[in-house]
Amino acid sequence: MARLRFLLLVLLASLFYTAVFGQAASIRKADDFYNNGGYFEAIPLYKDGLETVPTGLLGEYLFKIAECYRKLANVRQAELWYGKALQREVKNPLAQLYYAQALLQNEKYDLAKEAFQQYKELAPQDPRGENGLNSVSYALAWTESPTEIGR
């Protein structure tokens, strides 16, 4: 009976190890795709491997998923994943900038304005924060009073 329990324990441990190792391998493979411009291929691998990422690095990997979507011009998904990365306190200030830009592109002007202001506080020397705020103002002005093209 003890031998059966031991075998069962070994079997369960090996299954757990295989699952965890497989997910960690998924992250490594995703990093390879990401570093070589294979953003489309990296996304599902990152998502599959997120459970294996240490909590302190989760924001960085959420940021990488957002970057994949941004580089693939999927602004809606990029906005979603930048938001997740920021909730996990990603260290890269560009996450805030790209989140603000995605909000602007998705016509969420009030949120974009707030996000650009936050970026300006993070990187006051970077003109992209002020430029973003100006873009929000122009977009709001245009939506309030659109003009005809070619007039």
Q: What is the pLDDT of residues 41-89, one digit of tens each?
A: 999 999 999 988 998 999 999 999 999 999 999 999 999 999 999 999 9
Which pLDDT tens digit goes with each residue over 109-146? 999 999 999 999 999 999 999 999 999 999 999 988 87
72: three-class secondary structure by DSSP: coil
Cβ burial, residue 73 (10 Å; 0-12/13-18/19+): exposed
What is the pLDDT, as a whole number, of residue 96? 97
Q: What is the CA radius of gyration of the chain?
A: 21
Q: Determine the distance from the C-alpha atom of residue 151 to the mean position of all C-alpha atoms in its chain, rounded to a whole number.
A: 41
Q: What is the distance between the alpha carbons of residues 112 and 133, in angstroms, rounded to a whole number?
A: 8
Q: What is the distance between the alpha carbons of residues 84 and 57, in angstroms, rounded to a whole number?
A: 13
Q: Determine the distance from the C-alpha atom of residue 120 to the mean position of all C-alpha atoms in its chain, rounded to a whole number.
A: 20
Q: Determine the distance from the C-alpha atom of residue 136 to the mean position of all C-alpha atoms in its chain, rounded to a whole number.
A: 22
Judge whether 132 and 112 are in contact, CB under 8 Å. yes
Percent of the chain predicted with pLDDT > 90: 72
Q: What is the distance between the alpha carbons of residues 129 and 96, in angstroms, rounded to a whole number?
A: 10
pTM: 0.79
